[in-house]
């Protein structure tokens, strides 16, 4: 199972430079109706240019690009799983039709690879939200003498500006927490549905969710 890259440097004007580069699964087949722009400021939707996405805290907070990425991944896997199992037409090296067992194995592995990319994205944003909370608590703690409001007698607007800044930054934290919770809920629904489809069509005695979690733990060693 592919491991996405995680980087941290110490120079960033925004005060945080954690980022993760997630790779598109090699088996990803895009629907022609789905568009995705690598550059959130541009309109480049050429599918042959899509291969990875760099995710940082800013993209976790302002998640339009990440949401599009996740939506496309979900559409190419869980949303079309039953169709892939029914229509899979790969042949072996001798030109023979692939067996049902091998067909299920290939489709399952493609699905797991897709799940892992999505899990890495959500886990990264989850950790970044926790890091942000610690930073904000330290910054605005009553015991922290830094960044205290200016005496209102010297600047009558300072206290209001300070309060607005604090509310805005904690608002970003709350936005990230809500995003993480929503996407974990979506993943739970999709993965449980796919687990049922695999059991119906492949092996009813296999716990596909547990198998994926075991593979995920192994890949993180």
Over the stretch 162-175, which tens digit does the pLDDT of each residue have?
778 888 899 999 99
From the list 76, 73, 79, the residue with the least C-alpha distance to 53 is 73
Which domain, by its residues, includes 41?
5-219
**Residue 61 backbone phi and psi in degrees, to 5:** -75, -50
Q: How many domains does the chain have?
A: 1
Confidence check: pLDDT of 29 > 80: no
- What pLDDT score does 54 carry? 94
Cα gap 152→205, rounded to integer Å:
69
CB contact set of 114 (below 8 Å; sequence gap of 6+): 25, 28, 73, 76, 77, 78
User: pTM to 2 decimals?
Assistant: 0.77
Alpha-carbon Rg of the chain, whole angstroms?
A: 22
Over the stretch 52-68, which tens digit does the pLDDT of each residue have?
899 999 999 999 999 99
Strand pairing category for 52-56 and 5-7: unpaired
Of the candidate ranges 2-11, 150-159, 184-193, 212-221, the one whose mean pLDDT is the lowest:
2-11
- What pLDDT score does 178 carry? 98
Confidence check: pLDDT of 41 > 70: no
CB 20 within 8 A of CB 5: yes
- What pLDDT score does 143 carry? 52
- What pLDDT score does 87 carry? 74
- What pLDDT score does 85 carry? 85
Over the stretch 84-132, which tens digit does the pLDDT of each residue have?
888 765 555 566 666 777 888 889 999 999 999 999 999 999 999 999 9
24: left (phi over 0), alpha (psi -120 to 50) or beta: beta
Confidence check: pLDDT of 33 > 50: no
Over the stretch 150-201, which tens digit does the pLDDT of each residue have?
566 666 666 677 778 888 899 999 999 999 999 999 999 999 999 999 999 9
């Amino acid at each position: 199972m592919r491991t996405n890259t995680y980087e941290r440097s110490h120079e960033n004007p925004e005060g945080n430079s954690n980022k993760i580069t997630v790779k598109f699964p090699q088996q990803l087949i895009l629907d022609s109706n789905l568009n995705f722009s690598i550059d959130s400021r541009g309109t480049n939707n050429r599918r042959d240019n899509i291969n990875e996405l760099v995710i940082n805290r800013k993209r976790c907070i302002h998640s339009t690009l990440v949401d599009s990425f996740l939506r496309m991944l979900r559409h190419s896997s869980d949303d079309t799983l039953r169709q892939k199992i029914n229509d899979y037409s790969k042949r072996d090296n001798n030109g023979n039709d692939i067996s049902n067992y091998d067909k299920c194995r290939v489709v399952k592995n493609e699905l797991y690879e897709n799940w892992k990319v999505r899990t890495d994205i959500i886990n990264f944003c989850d950790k970044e939200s926790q890091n942000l909370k610690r930073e904000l608590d330290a910054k605005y703690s009553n015991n922290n003498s830094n960044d205290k409001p200016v005496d209102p007698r010297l600047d009558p607007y300072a206290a209001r500006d300070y309060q607005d800044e604090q509310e805005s930054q904690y608002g970003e934290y709350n936005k990230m927490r809500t995003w993480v919770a929503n996407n974990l809920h979506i993943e739970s629904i999709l993965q449980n549905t796919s687990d049922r489809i695999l059991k119906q069509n492949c092996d009813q005695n296999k716990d596909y969710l547990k198998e994926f979690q075991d593979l995920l733990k192994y890949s993180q060693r």
